[in-house]
Amino acid sequence: MKRSRIGIGAALTAGALATAGLIYAPAAAAVEPGTATVQADCGIYGGGEATLTATQDGTTATITVTSSEITTPVAVDANTVDTTITMTKGGGGTTEFTGSSNPAMEAGGGVDSGPLTGTVASGDSLDAFPGSLTLVVMGISVTCESTAAQSPGPFVFD
């Protein structure tokens, strides 16, 4: 009989600790949708569709930009492109995401840049339209302007 009381006590203690862990565990932040596309016009450098992938960790968010239609005219080494994407907030204003993290890209290859880092608040709604993507490659600045709202709708952050 003594053994079963110890077993029940241990089980109740373990259950209480597990419940406390759930109560105090930090909530996972999420952004919806996680991926969207946008059309961009890069002037003499062309343009086309780009995919934006968003993630969030607390108030830090990242955007990765990839496109097989927006291409680089020259070969580019890894981590040498300074990239900024400016997105419009639903309530007004803008948020910038910046970084210089990119894989090596061959001449004529698609653009791949990110993660680009920015700060968000809970409830922020960000759309790439109107907005811009600026890439600085070997001192040459290329700005692409979005031509329509991203699809699906804006990124909404927790």
Place of tokens 């600085």: 136
Percent of the chain scoring above 70 in pLDDT: 82
Residues in the chain, how many?
Answer: 158
pLDDT digits (tens, 9 = 90+) for 111-126: 999 999 999 999 999 9
C-alpha 116/C-alpha 88 separation (Å) is 16
Q: For residues 9-23, b (16+ Cβ closer than 10 Å) or e, as one string?
A: eeeeeeeeeeeeeee
C-alpha 22/C-alpha 135 separation (Å) is 43
Name the strand (E) or helix (H) holding 79: none
